[in-house]
Amino acid sequence: MSVLARGAIGAPVSRLEAVEKVTGAARYAVEHGADGVAHAVLVGATIARGEVLSVGAERALALRGVRAVLWHGNAPPLHEVSDGELNVLQSPRVAYRGQIVAGVVADTLELARQAADALEVKYAAEEHDVVLRADHPGLYKPEKVNPSFPTDTEDGDFDAEFAASPVRVDCTYETPAFHNNPMEPHATTASWEGERLVLYDSTQGASSVAETVAKAFGLEAGVVRVISPHVGGGFGSKGTPRPHVILAVMAAREVGRPVRLPVTRQQMFQVTGYRTPTIQRLRLGAEPDGRLRAIAHDVIEQTSTVKEFAEQTAVPTRMMYAASARRTTHRLVRLDVPTPSWMRAPGECPGMYALEAAMDELASACGVDPVELRIHNEPELDPETGRRFSSRGLVACLREGAERFGWAGRDPTPGARRDGAWLVGTGVAASTYPARRRPSQARARREADGRYVVGLAAADIGTGARTALAQIAADALEVELDQVRMEVGDSALPRAPLAGGSMGIASWGSAVVKACRELRARMIESPDGPVEVEVDTTPEVEGDEPLARHGFGAQFIEARVNAETGEIRIPRALGVFAVGRIINAKTARSQLIGGMTMGIGMALHEESLIDRAFGDYLNHDLAGYHVPACADIDDLEVAWVSEEDPHVNPMGAKGIGEIGIVGTAAAVTAAVHHATGLRLRRLPLTPEKVLPALADDRP
Task: Name the residues annotated as catalytic.
Answer: 658
DSSP symbol at 84: G
3-state secondary structure of 519: helix
Q: Which of 96, 50, 89, 49 is nearest to 73 (CA)?
A: 89
What is residue 409's DSSP assignment?
A: G
38 - beta bridge partners?
259
Alpha-helix residue ranges (DSSP H) falling in 478-503: none
C-beta of residue 362 within 8 angstroms of C-beta of residue 679: no
Q: How far apart are CA 289 and CA 450, in angstroms?
A: 64
b/e for 604-617, b at 16 or more Cβ within 10 A? bbbbbebeeeebbb
In b/e form, how buried is each residue of 84-96, taking b as 16+ CB within 10 angstroms?
ebbbbbeebbbbb
Q: What are phi and psi of 400, to 5 degrees?
A: -65, -45
Neighbouring CB atoms inside 10 A of 542's CB total 8
Contact 272, 247 (CB under 8 A): no
* Residue 386 burial (CB count, 10 A): 8
Which 3 state secondary structure label does DSSP give 550?
Answer: strand
CB contact set of 382 (below 8 Å; sequence gap of 6+): 319, 388, 389, 548
**Cα Rg, the chain, nearest whole Å:** 26
Q: At what angle do helices 206-216 and 243-255 cross, to 10 degrees?
A: 60
- Element housing 525 (H / E): helix 504-525
Q: How many CA atoms lie within 13 A of 341 on its CB side?
A: 26
Q: Which amino acid is at 241?
A: P
Please count the CA atoms within 13 angstroms of the CA of 153 that sit on its side-chain side: 22
List the beta bridge partners of residue 275.
178
- Determine the Cα–Cα distance for residues 694 and 697; give it in Å rounded to an integer: 5
Element (H, E) at 520: helix 504-525
Q: In one letter, which amino acid is 247?
A: L
Residue 52 CA to residue 251 CA, distance in Å, equals 20
Nearest to 390 by CA among 435, 352, 348, 432: 435
Contacts for 453 with CB less than 8 Å, ≥ 6 apart: 444, 445, 447, 484, 485, 487
- Strand bridging mode 531-536 / 325-334: unpaired
Peptide bond into 684 cis (omega under 30): yes
Beta strand spans in 111-245 (E): 120-125, 144-145, 149-150, 153-155, 167-175, 187-193, 196-201, 224-227
